[in-house]
């Protein structure tokens, strides 16, 4: 349903050195939140640097159906005239969240404590993804959900009229689940408390504070406990969205792999709960310099300068997974070029992303002549400094598998072909143009 039109097959072949400056689009996690929280604030929120990928446009459409006014200027500044906490309307049509798990799960949280009836669906990928992880805890606030077998979309929700505040310990490390509970808590009387055993990205906490909510965070082992005071008046605030580190990862690793490359990626978000990939690349011996560190809109930001060089294999601990959960497909491509076996531990959550990314990453590598194994929840890549290539890769409606395949082709001996690039638009519009401008050779096959 409503999938982007499939585009012709594309091939990626050995690239010229990547050089110059490549500005990556705005952070996807922060962009969704800026539109949602702006819709819940009183006044007009102005957003610069918003990602205008398909996923975020779905969020904008949903928030409009719920009563927010959202528009943008020719210079790319977005405006949200919000309805205030508890002030959203009943949508008069189905909310179609496309490919986006973040949009769907966060919106379930918001709807759970609004006295409205809503129906939500998504594309073929999203309709396969587990929603019970939010439906079950959110039901305890008084919301009534009905979903397909296995807690899959489409679902309907009748939000609570007088929502109970929740106390919940998140069983899997998931910023989406944590955020859904906190967002339900916005329109509940009293304090909502979420414990997470492993810390995950904290954009919800940071941005709610930015809009005036009281959010307290106490460290708790490797994670934390977060307490939100219910029914705050959120006040519109300006947001400048930094470049998405998860998107930057693709041109960055292409530059590391293609001999002679030196590429600058300006204004990339460096929130410490998102930078596990950079830690891992440093351990692999990668030359990634961070310059011009600054804080923009409450988030740390820096310019990255990436220089090609040899990489060594590493053992990536499971504890690092939450801070680089979206980066394993592209890290695996880097590992294929490193000398030795890289083991990436604790990747269970990859099985429930836009596709089964554990299987998809292993298939991407083996289809292109790289030795790879799945051992329980670990992925092992046996790198030897060479990617044979020559494979035809199935995207499985997954933007990150698609981009990882195209980056792999830039460093492979034989071109790599991809069945469908259309899903790249969910997170990185103009990816192909940006890569080609930097020196890559991505062409219709």
* Positions that interact with ligand S3P (CB under 6 A): 29, 102, 174-176, 179, 201, 325-326, 349
- Cis peptide, bond prior to residue 154, ω within 30 of zero: yes
Which one, 13 or 357, has the nearer CB to ligand S3P? 357
Which one, 343 or 351, has the nearer CB to ligand S3P? 351
Bridge partners, 103 (sequence order): none
Least distance CB 153 / ligand S3P (angstroms): 15
Q: Going by C-beta distance under 8 Å and a sequence separation of 6 or more, which residues neighbour residue 86?
A: 113, 114, 186, 187, 231
Q: Give the angle subtended at the CA of 326 by the CAs of 352 and 7, to the nearest 5°.
A: 80
Nearest in space to 407 (alpha carbons), one of 251, 291, 282, 209? 251
Both tokens of residue 156? Answer: 């309907």
What stretches of 345-442 show up as alpha helix (H) in DSSP? 357-367, 399-410, 431-438
Least distance CB 339 / ligand S3P (angstroms): 29
| Exposure b/e, 273-296, CB count within 10 A at least 16 = b | ebbbbbebbeebebbbeeeeeeee
- Helices 328-337, 357-367: axis angle to 10 degrees equals 30
Both tokens of residue 287? Answer: 């030359």
326 in active site: yes
Which one, 31 or 342, has the nearer CB to ligand S3P? 31
Rg (CA), the chain: 21
Cα separation, 71 vs 60, whole angstroms: 9
Phi, psi (deg, nearest 5) at residue 316: -95, 115
Which of 55, 96, 244, 326 is catalytic? The answer is 326
| Exposure b/e, 354-365, CB count within 10 A at least 16 = b | bbbbbebbbbbb
Both tokens of residue 405? Answer: 């395949």
Which one, 326 or 367, has the nearer CB to ligand S3P? 326
Both tokens of residue 131? Answer: 């929603």
- Residues marked active site are found at 326
């Amino acid at each position: 349903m409503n999938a982007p039109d499939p585009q012709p097959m594309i091939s990626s072949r050995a690239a010229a050195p990547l050089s110059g400056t490549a500005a990556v689009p705005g952070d996807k996690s922060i962009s969704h939140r800026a539109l949602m929280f702006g819709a819940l604030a009183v006044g007009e929120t102005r957003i610069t640097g918003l990602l205008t990928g398909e996923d975020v446009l779905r969020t904008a459409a949903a928030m409009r159906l719920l009563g927010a006014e959202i528009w943008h200027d020719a210079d790319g500044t977005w405006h949200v005239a919000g309805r205030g906490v508890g002030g959203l309307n009943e949508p008069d049509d189905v909310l179609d969240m496309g490919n986006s798990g973040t949009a769907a799960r966060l919106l379930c949280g918001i709807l759970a404590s609004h006295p409205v009836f809503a129906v939500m669906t998504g594309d073929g990928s999203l309709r396969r993804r587990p929603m019970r992880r939010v439906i079950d805890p959110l039901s305890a606030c008084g919301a009534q959900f009905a979903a397909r077998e296995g807690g899959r979309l489409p679902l309907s929700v009748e939000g609570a009229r007088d929502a109970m505040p929740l106390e919940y310990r998140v069983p899997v490390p998931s910023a989406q689940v944590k955020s859904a509970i906190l967002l339900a808590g916005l329109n509940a009387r009293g304090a909502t408390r979420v414990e997470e055993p492993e810390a995950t990205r904290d954009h919800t906490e940071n941005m709610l504070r930015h809009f005036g909510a009281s959010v307290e965070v106490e460290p708790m082992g490797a994670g934390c406990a977060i307490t939100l005071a219910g029914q705050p008046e959120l006040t519109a605030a300006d947001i400048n969205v930094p470049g998405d580190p998860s998107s930057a990862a693709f041109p960055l690793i292409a530059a590391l792999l293609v001999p002679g490359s030196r590429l600058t990626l300006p204004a990339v978000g460096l929130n410490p709960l998102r930078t596990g990939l950079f830690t891992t690349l440093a351990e692999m011996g990668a030359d990634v310099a961070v310059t011009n560190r600054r804080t923009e809109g409450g988030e740390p930001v820096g310019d990255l300068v990436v220089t090609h060089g040899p990489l060594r294999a590493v053992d990536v601990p499971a504890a690092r997974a939450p801070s680089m959960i979206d980066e394993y497909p592209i890290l695996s491509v880097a590992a294929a070029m490193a000398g030795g076996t890289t083991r990436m531990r604790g990747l269970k959550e990859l099985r429930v992303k836009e596709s089964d990314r554990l299987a998809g990453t292993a298939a991407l590598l083996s289809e292109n002549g790289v030795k790879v194994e799945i051992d329980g929840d670990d992925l092992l890549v046996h790198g030897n400094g060479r990617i044979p290539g020559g494979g035809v890769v199935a995207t499985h409606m997954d933007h990150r598998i698609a981009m990882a395949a195209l980056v792999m082709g830039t460093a492979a001996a034989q071109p790599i072909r991809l069945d469908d690039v259309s899903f790249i638009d969910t997170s990185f519009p103009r990816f192909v143009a940006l890569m080609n401008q930097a020196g890559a050779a991505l062409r219709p096959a």
